[in-house]
Structure 1
């Protein structure tokens, strides 16, 4: 069912990549541009640019006119990954060493900044009317602001034992929802003047973005380790605040909360050389996962993600029926059916 969709994503990604890499060429200072090209060259699914281009088609526009705005969205996404990896001190991304691991923190910050500024260069190159270009710019700036706000909230959460469901949803709306929202909305702006269509795409994007992150959090606890590409329960090891954890703390009794907190975040740092056996860590993490299951917290989050996808696709019903609209609906459904 999804094979045809993946084929379309790959086909459109070729056009996006061509423009993207032309904006960050191999030039002096070589070290800066090498660092900036590191993640774009490592691949990535290009889902957000696909949303931009397909949203343009879904409202009757020409997707070719949306390529530079789609590139802008992908550049913003990559910039956020570079800076996120610095903040989280992650060592790998897309199967490669992270930018700061290869070129150091200072150069990684500059590479992220370059990707951010290049996004606005991409918008300036879009072959669309000036009033549409201004609105695309406004939409991308707003999403970038929300992205930073969401990330700031996530960092602040690290200092706390618990967060509420409401706080988590607000954080994730900014951190992942905003850029998906902007992707769909920008596509709509390029393709139409119909405000009802543009608003429908914006609603679709916001809900799909939030569902995407919630489903990621669910997979971290239930997925097959080989398909996931990392140990199951990594979020528990790191002490990551998710919707699942927020639900647990709002429903568990005090005794179970304390049992969970003994494991939650215990293995956030590097424990190599401390004589800790991986199998022992896994056993502790599985006990914590069992506590989350006991209170239905994983099922709760999975159901919220599915509901958000349903709400997203309901919003698209105001758009005329088309292949592009079907592709957006299918992409949303895949987000909560994927196994990795």
Structure 2
């Protein structure tokens, strides 16, 4: 991945500047449990991709990235608040290789920590060094983004109890769950840096497409990646019965016989505490491998991979209205990386 090395270097450098603002807003203070819980995920690292998008979007439209640091922190707070609450809903025990917030501090404190991170996002916007008019507009985008995140998550929960989800339904869900925050990040960055509506719209479209592509590629990797690189067993989405674009495409095209065969495995270990312990069981691996073969038979994995790549192509096409710059190039490279990565 040599062509991405310089990009990653800049992502790391900018992450440090954003982290200064993050930990200024969530310092070590009383009540200790609340602030320790709220700091848990930010301290675990993470690449700060969304804050990077905010800063680079500001620069890509000719603005000063220094003025975008608090808005970039706000976006990361929203992202982390959603992770804390998602982990509670999914009963996940690990995140970024660490025990989840609710696992360490209990569900009640985790809910409060998520709420604190959410409110800190608005405190960050209040501190932004932009005009009151821009501040109001950024707040509007942040509120819309948060609304869409909740709507996407609600649809995801609703889909768990349904046997089939159409391609359009899945795309609507993922547009809220992952598309909204990338869209919000790029849009907020553009608002900080410019008054030009054409530029703001172009970055909004870029963010939405890239956010959706990011999730679809994640779903593809779950089925085709190298387990060592992925850091989790291949096919875990199948065992958990996770509705994805791949599964939606399969259900639209498969024969009744193949659907029935697939359903013998799909969701077999959803909500099963022993499910994770069984992942290395040879019989389970065999079952999952058969299910993946069925998805391949109907071209469902290739369909999703191509869909993600087309979204990125469209996203980068939208950026062509912006002047050429290193910042614009970084956004284009980031989008490409998100659908070429192996983990």
TM range (shorter): over 0.9
Decide whether aligned partners of structure 1 residues 253 and 330 sit closer, same or farther in structure 2, where only a CA change above 3 A counts: same
After superposition, where does 1:325-336 map in structure 2 within 5 Å? 325-336=328-339
TM-superposed CA distance for 1:277, in Å, is 6.7
**Partner Cα distance (1:232, 1:194) in 2:** 45
Which residue is equivalent to 1:258? Answer: 260
TM-superposed CA distance for 1:273, in Å, is 11
**Partner Cα distance (1:137, 1:112) in 2:** 19
TM-superposed CA distance for 1:163, in Å, is 0.2
Asked whether the 8 Å contact 2:187–2:203 carries over to 1, the reply is: yes
**Partner Cα distance (2:13, 2:275) in 1:** 43
Tell me, what secondary structure is at the counterpart of 2:324? coil
Which residue is equivalent to 1:291? Answer: 294
2:132 to 130, 135, 156: 130
Decide whether aligned partners of structure 1 residues 25 and 260 sit closer, same or farther in structure 2, where only a CA change above 3 A counts: same
TM-score, scaled relative to structure 2: 0.98
TM-superposed CA distance for 1:267, in Å, is 1.5
**Partner Cα distance (1:276, 1:38) in 2:** 28
Once structures 1 and 2 are overlaid, which stretch shifts more, 269-278 or 314-323?
A: 269-278
**Partner Cα distance (1:276, 1:128) in 2:** 51
After superposition, where does 1:27-38 map in structure 2 within 5 Å? 27-38=29-40
Which residue is equivalent to 1:178? Answer: 180
**Structure 1 residue 3 and structure 2 residue 1: aligned?**
no
2:312 to 309, 315, 318: 309
**Partner Cα distance (1:59, 1:294) in 2:** 45
Which residue is equivalent to 2:285? Answer: 282
**Partner Cα distance (2:276, 2:124) in 1:** 47
**Partner Cα distance (1:76, 1:293) in 2:** 36
Which residue is equivalent to 2:218? Answer: 216
Alignment length (residue pairs): 340
**Partner Cα distance (1:54, 1:64) in 2:** 11
**Partner Cα distance (2:210, 2:29) in 1:** 37
Decide whether aligned partners of structure 1 residues 193 and 271 sit closer, same or farther in structure 2, where only a CA change above 3 A counts: same
1:324 to 306, 322, 327: 327
Tell me, what secondary structure is at the counterpart of 1:338? coil
**Partner Cα distance (1:310, 1:233) in 2:** 27
**Partner Cα distance (1:10, 1:27) in 2:** 27
Which residue is equivalent to 1:67? Answer: 69
TM-superposed CA distance for 1:162, in Å, is 1.1
TM-superposed CA distance for 1:22, in Å, is 1.1
Structure 1 unaligned regions, length at least 5: none
Structure 2 unaligned regions, length at least 5: none
Which residue is equivalent to 1:19? Answer: 21
Tell me, what secondary structure is at the counterpart of 1:339? coil
**Partner Cα distance (1:272, 1:76) in 2:** 30
**Partner Cα distance (2:156, 2:279) in 1:** 28
**Partner Cα distance (2:117, 2:168) in 1:** 32
Tell me, what secondary structure is at the counterpart of 2:27? coil
Decide whether aligned partners of structure 1 residues 186 and 35 sit closer, same or farther in structure 2, where only a CA change above 3 A counts: same
